[in-house]
Amino acid sequence: MAEVTRSCFSRVALLILYILHQSCVVESTLIFNVLSFGAKPNGVIDSTQAFLDVWTAACASSDSTTIRVPKGRYLLRNAMVFKGDNCKSTDITFRIDGTLIASSDYRVLGQANNWLSFEGVTGVSIIGGALDAKGTSLWACKLAGSTNCPNGGATSLSFTNSRNININGLMSLNSQMFHIVINGCQDVRIKGVKVNAAGNSPNTDGIHVQLSRNVAIFNTSIKTGDDCVSIGPGTKDLWIEQITCGPGHGISIGSLAKDLEEEGVQNVTVKNAIFKGTQNGLRIKSWARPSNGFVQGVQFLDVVMLNVQNPIVIDQNYCPHNINCPAQVASVRVSDVVYRNIQGTSATAIAIKFDCSATNPCSGIRLENVSLTCRNQEVQSHCANPNGKIVGTVQPNSCL
């Protein structure tokens, strides 16, 4: 009996080992370490070529691949493009335990559109780590009004014409311009990202999404000098949840109507957001010029405003500096926008502003359980050409 028991036990043990072995084979991941390709974690020696080489090696494999970036500071002096054209792998993960830093000389990247750019890739994940674009000197140059500043500046991280993208736990510091751009992409998940830049840093949008579908942004903190999240033409099925914004210019759809032929923005949800001391809260903005663009099916749900200058705004006569304003017919149609459970404080007396087109009035605007107050003055609404209704208690009194 003992022999039979031992025999059965041995067979079971062998079966378990076989299953575990097969599991390891199925789930095996090829690992590349940037140090093996010549990267230096001292923040002094340029590691640009090492990162390009490790990407080439990862793309050459058809297996799931992890690119390891150990602790340390890695100088990536030049603009880099990671292309997916010849990639065999559809599962490449950058696991970053260190910090990637740009040159302290803003002129090195100042003429580039992007610092780190992924083009036409599938199944790329960026996990952890920090990007330090050293943008403060370029901001200072611009704020001083110097004519020697580069036009624009570099976006820190860009994905273009890509799909199945995952960005998790990344920190972006001091971008020259936009921090993260999602352009022409599908199936993108951004989670646990932190963006940090000064409140006066120019054109440093936290996350910009355009011409993209099925993008989700969760549990993200953005402190910057422009829009925390900006939503451009052609954005569809965007979900933003558990986001903290401030300082910054709020969450903005637009600006739209830059072009006559322009794709619309559709099915956008912002839920469980907190705005702290921002210039705006929830904003839709378009220029007063002809366009076939539109905004439709937007939900702003469960939002807290803390001393926000303009908590709720639709501006179809957008012209930020009142210089060379188009003053034409605003053609972008804004419809089916819901504001539900919006609470907190406004830093100005006008807490709700709907400045809609007389030719194409906003329609389907719904205010539901809105409570906004202003310290030491009565809070008000301002309306021009909106159509909609209120549900529940709305303060300030609605002018719909």
Mean pLDDT by groups of 10 residues along the chain of 400 residues: 43 39 51 98 98 97 96 97 96 98 93 96 98 96 90 95 98 98 98 98 97 98 98 98 98 94 97 98 94 96 98 93 78 95 97 93 97 94 96 93
pLDDT at 322: 82
pLDDT at 320: 84
pLDDT at 311: 98
Q: Which distant-in-sequence residues (6+ apart) come within 8 Å of 327 by Cβ?
A: 288
Provide the token pair at 28: 């095996």
pLDDT at 359: 87
**Active-site residue set:** 226, 249
Provide the token pair at 256: 């739209």
Whole-angstrom Cα distance, residue 71 to residue 221?
A: 23
pLDDT at 5: 41
Q: Which of these, 37, 93, 97, 95, lies nearest to 61 by C-alpha position?
A: 93
- pTM value is 0.92
pLDDT at 29: 86
